[in-house]
Structure 1
């Protein structure tokens, strides 16, 4: 009897089959919702730049930068080789590469120096595509962008520093700020005993003989990007909580006292150094009047919360395109995953969530741009809608990242897939610039103290009334709930999250009904507004046009 043995190739265990090809290069700007929103919100002139940046973001080289910046974490050097205190943080070259491009593309403060209508929308859209790289370096971009309106409360300081903050040149290294081609700014607000309750801050500012100049003594609990050139810091003065500008290097070239106790060991955002600095005789310049620190920084909070929405929407989109790439090229049970009905339901559901986040984010950016240029109606809308959007979009991101990771199965749980980095990053923006509770309570504060904000929101919602009965019903319910909060303040706090969620979903529904294809708007209204949805992604009802949704969200090249 003759036995036929398998050929060697049948045992070639290292032959790779049924694995997706490398995703890069891809085009991070291949997103219809993003490009349509960019045009609609007033920045069609920026489309070519956004498309160019999207291609760069998805390139093999830049995706490698992103991976390396995350893997090679920043390192704190408190002293030099001789024992001199230096308090410097060293970064991998890939971090500097990402920073250089981000600053050059206007990701920091450049929009404030751009007089074109839509400049802040263009920055937001660029952030959505550049966000496909690595999230950590977005923190100094966001802070630099946000400090400018606060610094304008002190015109003499703004005149010196604003041209440098709006520069498109990345010029790292600690030197006298005014000798550099461009500078970055950070913030030192929270302290260990208070967190978001900044009025409990214990850092003390003592006036010196020189008008407007103080010395600080105290600490900060969560100060990211400590290698920035200047920081806005809150401290207690004889007149109350006040805002100060603190440079790392003083005008005479000496180092200001900025002792870094440690770098935080964080869940995600590993590339970004988050520190605990201590001040002891630290020289600072007053920004705005004494006792008006919170009022001085409030405009800054509007800006950083907008960037929280941007970062979360970008992460959603990145997770979606990675999941989409995998399911297009992986087969199971006789068919590609993307052709399996249940997987198609999951991908389509994620696509709806991503488009809703992107569309809302661009609307908020448009409101910011027009509010900055003096539109009072948009100012009122921005005041409430930014807090609503920050609450909801950042809250949806962790579950979204987890579901997208699951689309890759075990491959998605492995670091080299990039999905664990997205998963660890996902909760950050719901914590930064106020947790969910802080933002929900801020919405209540706006409703109570600035009634024009509620009117601005309802005016926005009325633009789509009559277009969809499910949306009409949601608007009616929201109006009744808002009225109830005014008449029953005790109930308001316990119901704040519920009502803010309603606000966010109704606002997203309004925007999608007006601007998205019928398939996307119909699916959103059926699930998020009318309740025909389960408790997990992938539970879209029968009859939704899943093919149209997927084809829109994941075109060739995405």
Structure 2
């Protein structure tokens, strides 16, 4: 009996699917980013940023991002002969990504070549790399953030370590820091019994005869354990009694090398890698220190003061990271909806989808405007008013933008339908990634309380913040009314006792964030963008969900920028 094979499988023809989103320049296609870079005095960086945008948009870079997140870091406690090695092995794709970020100065370029717009250019580069692969940006951020702590508090360590930090060379091996083309940094502050309350730390440091210190204790979260150096908090002083710990009076900050200058491996015992919701390409760990060599940074007992600038800078990078995630979410959602049809029309042309996509784009643009404004305030030419502004605005932005990230990613995921819910598309990974920026370096309550602390201890920051918003005064009745309400809330807050003020902290921080974003868009974005944002976030008909934009919104003007 003869069977006739079918001539073809017509059901296997693929149609009405978006083509691969590759070879899109992630810089030139992001109009709000391009305009913001020029507006904030970093136009000189356009050539290199265009180069970075082309690089991260390539198919090979995107594939490396996928590999780094699916073939995740693996911890090796011992070698095959039984020697303790405490190494974390990464897929080569991770090393290619982080090496490219270092090569383009996404870590310390703003410190190595300080000038007007330097932090803006660095922020743009950092955000593009983090848009495609966010996990590697953790050690990139900490390497950037360690610089001011060393520069301000430890001239001797700065002389040795800053040239290494400024280098654009990368080598992922554990080796003597002086033998490597460049170094990366991590940090280990929190412990299992304390978390954000670092005063409860039990890690102890004892001074050695040669001036170094020996640290003994544990850390609950050590970010990027294969880094070349770490800033670590430990108790010092006579006994570091519980009363001293409660006040933080005995906490000191130390630079702990992963490998000592002579090539000897420092005692740095990795207990396990954290099994995290997202951030899979980056290794986070629990570690034990046992006579581990460290170098004092700053004065004994002033560890929190020493490390606070590093914390502030990493909080700013959390804003950048969430903003990068919003850009990725918008880019992927728009690519899909512009290339797929349903019910007789392309998805983006369906009014309900148009409204959702435009609202997501508004959120992304507002975050971008805020991130770049903050970046400019951190440049070396910042005056006292700028410094006061950034002190409060960084905390406000960290609170709001990082909290908006997860729901924004979810809504973008929904734009892709079933495709978005699969790991084959990057939006699912982004949805799992966004919460880490809200948790890292202070979750919501910690940051909201930091807003209160800044207002109480540095009242000049409130005046500077209000002055920034006032630059848009008179451009919108909605904005003016919001600023008036915000001012009233701040005045009321100043009359409350600390416990009552805490109840209001989140609401006030959110109000300030929306005021800042509204002011920035009124001054720097097209009128259609600013008016739609204000109506959607501050108008009487505002909604809790994306996609409720008022009649008359110029959707094309909003979406054409993305």
Number of the residue aligned with 1:90: 89
Number of the residue aligned with 1:309: 319
Number of the residue aligned with 1:520: 529
SS in 2 for 1:132: helix
Mapped to 1, the partners of 2:348 and 2:523 lie a distance apart of: 29
Q: Would you say the 8 A contact 1:186–1:225 is kept in 2?
A: yes
Mapped to 2, the partners of 1:334 and 1:254 lie a distance apart of: 68
Mapped to 2, the partners of 1:268 and 1:9 lie a distance apart of: 46
Report deviation, 1:374. Answer: 4.8
Confirm or deny that 1:395 pairs with 2:393. no
Which of 335, 346, 351 is residue 361 of structure 2 equivalent to? Answer: 351
Which of 535, 540, 545 is residue 554 of structure 2 equivalent to? Answer: 545
Q: Would you say the 8 A contact 1:398–1:427 is kept in 2?
A: yes
TM-score normalized by structure 1? Answer: 0.96
Q: How do 1:320-339 residues align onto structure 2 when only pairs under 5 Å count? A: 320-339=330-349
Mapped to 1, the partners of 2:205 and 2:55 lie a distance apart of: 45
How many pairs align?
544
Mapped to 2, the partners of 1:171 and 1:308 lie a distance apart of: 25
Number of the residue aligned with 2:242: none
Number of the residue aligned with 2:506: 497
Number of the residue aligned with 2:190: 190
Number of the residue aligned with 1:170: 170
Q: How do 1:122-521 residues align onto structure 2 when only pairs under 5 Å count? A: 122-152=121-151, 153-211=153-211, 213-238=212-237, 240-369=250-379, 372-489=380-497, 490-521=499-530
SS in 1 for 2:220: coil
Report deviation, 1:41. Answer: 1.3
SS in 1 for 2:161: helix
Mapped to 2, the partners of 1:309 and 1:115 lie a distance apart of: 21
Number of the residue aligned with 1:26: 24
Q: Would you say the 8 A contact 2:253–2:303 is kept in 1?
A: yes
Report deviation, 1:509. Answer: 0.1
Number of the residue aligned with 1:14: 12
Report deviation, 1:361. Answer: 0.4
Number of the residue aligned with 1:534: 543
Mapped to 1, the partners of 2:127 and 2:155 lie a distance apart of: 32
SS in 2 for 1:62: helix
Mapped to 1, the partners of 2:540 and 2:272 lie a distance apart of: 47
Report deviation, 1:530. Answer: 2.1
Deviation readout 1:176-235 (Å, 9 max, x if unpaired): 112222011110111111111111111000111123x11000010111110000100000
SS in 2 for 1:265: coil
Report deviation, 1:255. Answer: 1.0
Mapped to 1, the partners of 2:59 and 2:540 lie a distance apart of: 42
Confirm or deny that 1:49 pairs with 2:59. no
Mapped to 2, the partners of 1:448 and 1:246 lie a distance apart of: 34
Mapped to 1, the partners of 2:115 and 2:470 lie a distance apart of: 29
SS in 1 for 2:494: helix
- Runs of 4 or more, structure 1, over 3 Å off, are 7-11
Q: Would you say the 8 A contact 1:110–1:165 is kept in 2?
A: no
Report deviation, 1:373. Answer: 3.6
Q: Would you say the 8 A contact 1:506–1:529 is kept in 2?
A: no
Q: Would you say the 8 A contact 2:319–2:401 is kept in 1?
A: yes
SS in 2 for 1:380: helix
Q: Would you say the 8 A contact 2:131–2:321 is kept in 1?
A: no
Mapped to 1, the partners of 2:51 and 2:382 lie a distance apart of: 31
Q: Would you say the 8 A contact 1:161–1:178 is kept in 2?
A: no
TM-score normalized by structure 2? Answer: 0.95
Report deviation, 1:240. Answer: 0.7
